[in-house]
Structure 1
Amino acid sequence: MKTAEPQAAEVPNTGAQNTGAQSTGAQNTEHRNTEPPAPEDRLDRYRARVFEERKRLRRAFSDPAARQREVLTDLLTFNAGTAYGKAHGFDRLRTLDDLRKAVPVQDYAALSPWIERMAEGEPNVLTADQPAVFFTSSGSTGAHKKIPVTPRFMRTTFFPFYYAAWAPMAEHFPDVLTRPDAVLNLKHDPVVAPATTASGRPHVGASQVDFGKMFGEHLSAEPGTAAPWATLPVPVAPDDHVEKMYLRLRMAVESDVRCVIGINPAMVAAVPYQLRLWWPRIVKDVRDGTLGGHPFRSPNPQRAAELERLASYFGTVRPAHIWPNMRLLFCWTTGLASLYLPRLREEFGPSVTALPAPVAASEGPVGVALDRHPTAGSLVVTASVYEFVDADRDLGPDVETLAPHELEPGREYHAIYSHVGGLYRYAGGDVVRVVDVVDGVPRVSYAGRRNRSDVAGERLRDAQVVRALQSALGGAGLAARNAACHVETPDGRPPRYVFALAGESAWSTDETRRLTAALDTELTRESADYRAARDAGRLGPAELIRLDRDAFLEEWQESVGRGVRPTQVKDRLFRPDPENWRQLTGAAARQGDRS
């Protein structure tokens, strides 16, 4: 996205005028901003829009089953004439049971042949309107997906939940929206020359798309995307993401930043580390008025001296020292982030709030927080037709699924969705936890990826291991900055799980020994399969390696340094690759901290 409000661009004639059924999403087209708002009233219009979309979504909760039927009817009617719709008899389908019988549960690999036809420019394959862009997503394997994004999908599925996601910020933290430089948006990464598919459509991350220019939604620019550092004023290579992060951080230290948006919490966790890493360079650039050594603005010796006084007084300079009015972090708050987020918030300030980013992926939304709940968001019943499968079950084409009203609080499920954008009974790989039911709609939090670690029948999932870590650390009064695990198979002995933990502070040998035993016990409580494998001797006891406190941050920085976009370098719990594991744990050999 660009920093200035662009002129409306012509969206290709995609057949979106074939409205099909009157879905809740389709009714939102009246809000489309065909002209950029005047700067003086943009904030008022933006606030009105996000509050209205939240209100519409809450109204839909009065009869969520009816809304789900509307979404189903709309996607079937709109796409009945597509190649996929004809192959699966969309014109004959009426109910969710009909859809279950006609379409298998499928992942990206199953839909990939259809998507590739769209990427090559063939019309009317999965959707009745042509994709305007293909979102890229790294997925769990690291391979770049091509997620087709059509104008109808954006109006029906994306924009209603997207605007509603910002409502809690606009309601409870209005000051962060009053100045462009009050928000450091870490995921904003505009691209001048995007990669394209064979058909010439952009193939980029969602954070790299100018929704105003491409879809006529001129209020959709995220907070912080008009900041001075949003478009860098000095030359930098497109794939030099480390330097781009430095330049934005160097510029931000001269502003009164009050909110950091990261979505991916690993990006937020990197900020305190980067301040320490780049501190001398930052201070010099500020003093000289340079930006990465390039002429930039007038020298600012006063701010440089202030930064040096902070370093002298505190020793370790934290974001809270540089930005004393910091109020808000916006990122995912569950998964591995739940281990380090409490201490990370303290780095930004003692009263800083962490609002959860939506439970969503490039493929589509699942849940969006409409209030200040710290982890969960309401199911977006107007966006997709949702189905769920118990997280402990294996997914397959014919697996039995549950409807939203059949979910139970406290349980975890694979999320499966179908929407007008061409993904049908799509298992994106995320597991969600049902926290509670509010206004008749489940509220869900992200629990982890669906991948399991299973060498001896233990079938461990991300969420089970994270909870075991939380319980073991909490019982020992310890805190971790991050964690990972790997299965080792010693000669002549059963395989065992080895955990690498970066502690918040130093642990004694006795504390490490007790923590290791507690972790093994908690794993047996979380997983009956792990307990059975341990009892039968198929698995040995867990072991633990203590890493330097910055080990995971260094690894993250190195990954970005190899050219991977920061948004795609995410926390990873299971590390099956031996070489990756050796690289991560190499520092432990210097410490000798293994038990």
Structure 2
Amino acid sequence: MTQTPTSSRLTQYRHRVVAERDALRRALPTAAEHQQQALADVLAHNAGTAFGVEHGFARIRNIDDFRSAVPIRDYDALAPWIERAAAGEQNVLSADDPVVFFKSSGSTGDSKKIPITRTFMKRVFFPFYYAAWANFAEHFPAVLAHDDSTLNLKHDPVPVDTTASGRPHAGASQVDFGTAFGEPLSAEPGTRAPWATLPAHAADADHLERAYLRLRLAVQADLRCVIGINPAMVAAVPHQLAQWWPRIVKDLHDGTLGGHPYGPADRERAAQLERLAAYHGTLLPAHVWPNLELIFCWTTGLASLYLPRLREAFGPGVTVLPAPVAASEGPVAVALDRHPTAGPLVVPAAWYEFLPADDDIRPDSPTLRHDELAEGQEYHVVFTHVGGLYRYALGDVVRVVDRVAGVPRVEYAGRRNLSDVAGERLRESHVVRALRTALDGGGLEVVNATCRAVDTGVDVPRYEFALAPFRPFGDTETRTLAGALDTALGSVSAGYRTARAAGRLDPPVLHLVPADRFLTEWQWRVAQGTRPAQVKDRVFQRDEAGWQRVLGR
């Protein structure tokens, strides 16, 4: 049953998201002033904190002073301060105490604890967060017209962990911003749908079963939008429908949800889905929800290789809009129009610094301001904001696409992870760009891909790629693709080119796997207990067991 939000709430929401978007647009022509103000506000607000006193915030007069006083740090280097705050010590990194600690995947596999304060949410988070939904309100009004118009895959308010001091330690999508921060309008599209809060019998269900239950409920709605942020979650939906449609049909026919009684039977919808599956041989989102208009997720990285075909599974008229370039630690950029991959920097939110992506990040690395970036180049992101992160190396690499009112418009290019067994220093974006060039050269498409460096210490190292073709590759095509990929890697990475020329690297080896192999691997990882939002595409596969599963061994 369609659930319509109250007229006043919907009107207020549309006004808020468009107003925040327009305010960010107005800030672009005076970006330098906003950047200086952002840094000045941080120093003034947090001068009396333990961190501010130790680093002499009160004596800092300009950018050079700040750079000299505060070294660049990543999460691990800042962790001792964060752990003090998480244990309950006050006035450590920020003048106001954290309300919650956002959870994010750490480089060691442990969950980061990102301190989130009220001031951070007000000045840094909410402006970009609301602005991210402005395209929905302005260009896709049907998506917001009903509470059950959107399947928000990242929304899963399961029980959360706590820090030593009892503060919630949760993913951003698990936090009720209305209750925690007094922002009732902050509820995302789809978070008021019938499947947003599952019934009591699902309290102990694992992540995969919860995904099934939400999908079972969503097939009864007239969906217009799917929100995934992480595109791997979106790619999983057609795979899940193909697996689960017989169970969904039975639940609908019997009036059950996961086998438990749940309202009246919907035998008409059950019969309709059964007919569609019989006719098409499977069920795709386009069959189940013919009025779908929009997918909202990251559109770069490995997703850029498979999104065009994935979009077809959701319907020929579906638009894919990019989620913001952001992390649990804070925002970098948000699309203020319908650009397919990028948005301008959120210049009022934080003080941004950048390093060339090929450089190592050191505590004293020289950095660039936003107005010193070059179009087409890639950079590490370092930011400072009032929430208590100072010259924080985010770990993300961005590519400058162009400029909007003089401000760089950037897209996510990958994590800063390096693969380096022979001096090649390959980055994630090198691999994705080379794959795209090599595939396009042969008119080939893949559902997904990953790679690893093989260094036995006996043979010359090489890279092995696991590729899931959209349609089968012939033997000649595969051999040609391997050569083209080798050439393309040399074109994008001088280190790879040099290592190959010196004989320190052998040519890459390709392994072709079934089209659904990456989807079954994604589902396996979710079934093992990882939240779906955290199971992401991997450019570099460093988990030996995961690599073997992808190869089907």
TM class by smaller structure: over 0.9
In structure 1, the partner of 2:133 is 166
**Any idea what SS the aligned residue of 2:552 has?**
helix
Tell me which amino acid in the other structure corresponds to 2:10.
Answer: L
Q: In the alignment, which residue of structure 1 is the partner of 2:90?
A: 123
Shift of 1:203: 0.4
Deviates more, 1:230-239 or 1:280-289: 230-239
Q: Read off the aligned partner of 2:123 and give its amino acid letter.
A: T
Aligned to 1:454: 420
Residue matched to 1:583 = 549
Q: Is the 8 A contact 2:73 2:393 kept in 1?
A: yes
C-alpha distance in 2, partners of 1:222/1:50?
Answer: 11
> Is contact 2:100–2:116 with CA below 8 Å preserved after alignment?
yes
Distance 2:494 2:442 in 1: 23
1:531 and 2:531 matched: no
The answer to whether 1:52 aligns with 2:19 is yes
CA contact (8 A) 1:485 1:573 kept: yes
> Using the alignment, how far apart are the partners of 1:143 and 1:100 within structure 2?
29
Q: Name the aligned partner's letter for residue 297 of structure 1.
A: G
Q: Among residues 57, 65, 87, which one is paired with 2:32 in the alignment?
A: 65
Question: What is aligned with 2:117?
Answer: 150
CA shift for structure 1 position 490: 5.4
Aligned counterparts, 1:398-437, within 5 A = 398-437=364-403
Determine if contact 1:234/1:291 at 8 Å carries over to the other structure: no
Assess if the C-alpha contact under 8 Å between 1:131 and 1:149 holds in 2. yes
Q: Choose from 174, 177, 180 the match for 1:214.
A: 180
Offset from partner CA, 1:7-36 (integer Å, 9 cap, x none): xxxxxxxxxxxxxxxxxxxxxxxxxxxxxx
Distance 1:135 1:155 in 2: 16
Secondary structure at the aligned position of 1:481 is classed as strand
> Helix, strand or coil for the counterpart of 1:549?
coil
Contact map agreement 2:147 2:193 (CA 8 A) in 1: yes
Which residue pairs with 1:16 in the alignment?
Answer: none
Alignment-mate amino acid for residue 524 of structure 2: E
Is contact 2:421–2:455 with CA below 8 Å preserved after alignment?
no
Question: Separation in 1 of the partners of 2:456 and 2:165?
Answer: 51
Q: Which amino acid aligns with 1:348?
A: F
C-alpha RMSD over aligned residues: 1.3
Equivalent residue, structure 2, for 1:80: 47
Distance 1:494 1:420 in 2: 49
Pairing 1:190–2:178 present = no
**What do the CA deviations read for 1:36-69 (whole angstroms, capped 9, x no partner)?**
xx93300100010011111111111121000011
Letter in 2 for 1:530: Y
State how far apart, in whole Å, the 1-side matches of 2:6 and 2:62 are.
46
Q: Say whether the 8 Å CA contact 1:47–1:167 is kept in structure 2.
A: yes
Asked if 2 retains the 8 angstrom alpha-carbon contact of 1:239 and 1:563, the reply is no
Moved over 6 A (4+): none
Cα distance change, pair 257–408 in 1 and its aligned pair in 2 (3 A)? same
Structure 2 partner of 1:365: 331
Alignment partners' CA distance in 1, 2:257 and 2:357: 49
How many pairs does the alignment contain? 551
Equivalence map 1:475-554=2 (5 Å): 475-489=441-455, 492-554=458-520
1:108 counterpart (75, 85, 101): 75
Match of 1:12 in 2: none
In structure 2, give the amino acid aligned to 1:186.
Answer: L
Q: CA deviation at 1:583?
A: 2.2
TM normalised by structure 1 equals 0.91
- Within 1, Cα distance between the matches of 2:118 and 2:542? 39
Aligned AA for 1:557?
A: Q
* Residue 205 of structure 2 corresponds to residue 232 of structure 1: no
- Residues 1:301 and 2:301 aligned together: no
The CA deviation at 1:237 is 4.2
**2-structure distance, mates of 1:566, 1:281:** 21
Equivalent of 1:393, from 348, 353, 359?
359
CA distance in 1, matches of 2:456, 2:42: 53
Please tell me whether the aligned partners of residues 368 and 376 of structure 1 are also in contact (alpha carbons under 8 angstroms): yes
In the TM superposition, what whole-angstrom CA distance separates every residue of 1:467-496 from its partner, at most 9, and x where no partner exists? 100011111111101101011235743110
CA deviation profile, 1:89-132 (whole Å, cap 9, x unmatched): 00111222111110001100011000000001000000000000
Q: 2-side partners of 1:352 and 1:94: how far apart?
A: 51
Partners of 1:433 and 1:447 within 8 A in 2: yes
CA positional deviation for 1:580: 2.5
Which letter does structure 2 place at the counterpart of 1:358? P
Match of 1:350 among 296, 300, 316: 316
The sequence identity of aligned pairs, in percent, is: 64
Give the conservation status (yes or no) of the 8 Å contact 1:369–1:378. Answer: yes
State the alpha-carbon separation in 1 of the partners of residues 455 and 391 from structure 2: 38
Q: Is the 8 A contact 1:433 1:444 kept in 2?
A: yes
- 1:125 is aligned with what amino acid? V
Match of 2:301 in 1: 335
Q: How far apart are residue 239 of structure 1 and its match?
A: 6.3
1:140 is displaced (CA, Å) by: 3.7
Q: Does the CA contact (< 8 Å) of 2:38 and 2:349 recur in 1?
A: yes
Matches of 2:203 and 2:147, distance apart in 1: 25
SS of the equivalent of 2:422 reads coil
CA gap of 1:51–1:393, structure 2 versus 1, over 3 A, is: same
Distance 1:222 1:430 in 2: 25
Contact 2:104 2:328 in 1 (8 A): yes
Tell me what 2:289 maps to: 323
Structure 1, unaligned stretches of length 5 or more?
Answer: 5-37, 588-595
Match of 2:236 among 258, 270, 274: 270
Distance between the aligned counterparts of 1:107 and 1:140, measured in 2? 10
State the alpha-carbon separation in 1 of the partners of residues 90 and 130 from structure 2. 29
Provide the rounded CA distance (Å) in 1 between the counterparts of 2:204 and 2:446: 34
Deviation at 1:234, TM superposition (A): 4.2
Residues 482 and 140 (structure 1 numbering): CA distance in 2 closer, same or farther, change over 3 Å? farther
Structure 2 segments unaligned to the other structure (5+ residues): none
1:410 is displaced (CA, Å) by 0.3
The 2-side partners of 1:161 and 1:385 are apart by: 15
Which TM-score applies when normalising by structure 2? 0.98
